[in-house]
Amino acid sequence: MNPISSSVRDCLKIARLLLAAIGLFCFVHQATAAPKRPNIVLIMADDLGAECLQSYGSTSYKTPHLDALAASGIRFETCYSTPLCSPTRVQLMTGRYGFRTGWTQLIGRGSGADDDRKEYFDFTKERTFGHMLREAGYATAMAGKWQLAEFQQHPDHVRQSGFDEYSCWMWLWDGKKTDRYWKPVIWQNGSKREDVADRYGEDVFVEFLVDFMRRHREKPFFVYYPMTLVHDPFLPTPDSDAAINKMKNAPKNFADMVAYMDKVVGRLASALDELKLRENTLILFTGDNGTPKQITSRVGDLEIRGGKGQVAHVGSHVPLIANWKGTAPAGKVCTDLVDLSDVFPTLAELAGVELPRRPVIDGRSFAPQLRGQAGQPRDWIFSQLGNRRLAREQRYLLHDDGRLFDIPNDPLETKDLGDSADPEIVAAKKRLQAALDRLKPTR
């Protein structure tokens, strides 16, 4: 045998073994590496309690697109917001409760004359999920209702708060309130649009976001869409039978507004399908607070008057639907407690961002639940408006004045159990009071 040929064969054999080993290593590394970061589309309806969606039992409205997202994704049974819009928006964006950020009331209704947070959201003092995801390499966009600053005074406020691009309803112009639906006033990327006088506002925002997703489909993107629907005035939509020139502000139009809100969500989902992005995009849908008090909805045999502005179950209970095709389990109803401070750490975990130790983040990530895992569910959730606060566990809800209610059996809070001597109720009240006692106003 030729010794040189034998040596060559041995070398080739060793090379093949090394290549096989390298291939096995690469396969194992790919299998164990962090999952690909998803695109994120976060939609928040304005003034929409959970009782308005068919998937939550409503028999008053038609919401087929949202129901389809719930049927093919996860519906969280118990999600709480704050009872009004501005404090919810700050809580959602920062993962921090209002007593830490100073946002416990509406914009312009701070705690006092010296409150420097009452007129606008200070992006130099609070880090938003826009900041976090932009720094993590996401393209970021926001459209809809901002209402955390007056744009004539702070013209680039949205970009400074973490968003590369934006298209926002200007709730004030020259000190006067403006229309959000028909003939909207829209501030987009630093200037007032002059081409939307004949448009319906929600259509403009969706068009903007679809264009953004199309242009950024090759890299991870984050879309934050706080809708203008379904807040009053209660006006006909483009799909209503009433002629536009005969519009009247009437609660009877609310059902059409809910239907159009649902249609708009469907348009975004369809755009993701067309862009072939659904399997790597998480869609989250929620509401900022309870439904307006002028609206009464039905869930089964129960009539629920809108609870907006009330520190109560009906003021804080909002829908939370998560749809992530191929990742989130389909048709699951999750009973874990969630409040909207949990969105920030959830997005951080999905983006592979480690949360800092300071400032305090109140939220708890539900990213594991989105992947069908158990996660670490909360023991209680919290809501606050002004000086009024509540904490709730799975069954009982405690107000800071000592009133206690059995929410699954008494969602309208008609029977106060606060003075009950029942050992189970006494123990629940003690647990929830301890939670309220831990939530002290330290920033």
What pLDDT, on a 0 to 100 scale, did the predictor assign at position 27?
A: 40
Residue 335 lies in a domain: yes
Predicted local confidence at residue 80, as pLDDT? 98
User: Does the pLDDT of residue 343 top 90, yes or no?
Assistant: yes
> Does residue 31 sit within a domain?
no
Calpha distance 300→57 (Å, rounded): 7
Same domain, 155 and 260: yes
pLDDT at 232 over 50: yes
What is the reported pLDDT for 9? 61
pLDDT above 90 covers what percent of the chain?
81
Q: Establish if 14 belongs to a structural domain.
A: no
- In this structure, are residues 346 and 365 in contact, taking their beta carbons and an 8 Å threshold? yes
Same domain as 400, residue 369: no
pLDDT digit string (tens) for 35-54? Answer: 689 999 999 999 999 999 99
* pLDDT score recorded for residue 120: 83
Same domain, 432 and 330: no
Structural domain ending residue among the three candidates 330, 345, 379: 379
Of 316, 375, 332, 441, residue with least CA distance to 55: 332
| Residue 8 counted as domain residue | no
356 and 397 share one domain: no
Where do we find the tokens 């976090």? Answer: 132
Q: Which residues of 35-48 are buried (b: 16+ CB within 10 A; e: fewer)?
A: eebbbbbbbbbbbb
Last residue of a domain, one of 379, 411, 426: 379
3-state secondary structure of 348: helix
Q: List phi, psi (to 5°) of 353.
A: -100, 130
Asked whether residue 234 is domain-assigned, the answer is yes
Residue 32 has a pLDDT of 39
Residues 44 and 175 grouped into a single domain? yes
114-125 pLDDT tens trace? 444 456 899 999
In which band, very low, low, confident or very high, does the pLDDT at 205 lie, cut at 50, 70 and 90? very high
417 lies in the same domain as 342: no
- Same domain? For 357 and 412 the reply is no
Please tell me the predicted confidence (pLDDT) of residue 172.
85
pLDDT in tens, 142-184: 999 998 998 999 999 999 999 999 999 998 888 888 999 999 9
Same domain assignment for residues 91 and 177: yes
User: Domain boundary at 329, 348, 379, which?
Assistant: 379
Question: H/E element holding 42?
Answer: strand 39-45
Question: Containing domain of residue 175, as a range?
Answer: 37-379
Question: What are the structure tokens assigned to 147, written together?
Answer: 């209402």
Q: Looking at the structure, do residues 207 and 132 belong to the same domain, yes or no?
A: yes
> What is the model's pLDDT at position 24?
45
Identify the band that residue 443 occupies on the pLDDT scale cut at 50, 70 and 90.
very low
How far, in Å, CA of 173 to CA of 144, rounded?
A: 16
Q: Is the pLDDT of residue 134 over 90?
A: yes
Does residue 213 have a pLDDT over 70? yes
Same domain, residue pair 153 and 196: yes
* 354 C-beta neighbours (distance < 10 Å), count: 7
pLDDT tens track for 310-333: 999 999 999 999 999 999 999 999
Is 205 in contact with 144 (CB distance < 8 Å)?
Answer: yes
Does the residue 2 lie in any domain?
no
CB 329: neighbour CB atoms within 10 A? 16
Residue 59 covered by a domain: yes
CATH of the domain at 68: 3.40.720.10
Total domain count, the chain: 2
Chain position carrying tokens 């809910």: 258
Same domain (yes/no): 220, 253? yes
Residue 139 and residue 153: Cα distance in Å, rounded?
A: 26
Give me the DSSP letters along 77-119. Answer: EEEE--SSHHHHHHHHHHS--HHHHS-SS-TT--SSTT-TTSS
Per the domain annotation, does 28 fall within a domain?
Answer: no
Judged against a pLDDT cut of 90, whether residue 258 lies above it is answered with: yes
* Same domain as 329, residue 204: yes
pLDDT at residue number 356:
85
pLDDT band at 107 (very low <50, low <70, confident <90, very high): confident
CB count within 10 Å of CB 242 equals: 15
Q: How far apart are CA 85 and CA 103, in angstroms?
A: 10
Predicted confidence (pLDDT) per residue in 345-401, tens digit: 999 999 999 998 899 999 999 999 999 999 999 999 999 999 999 999 999 999 999
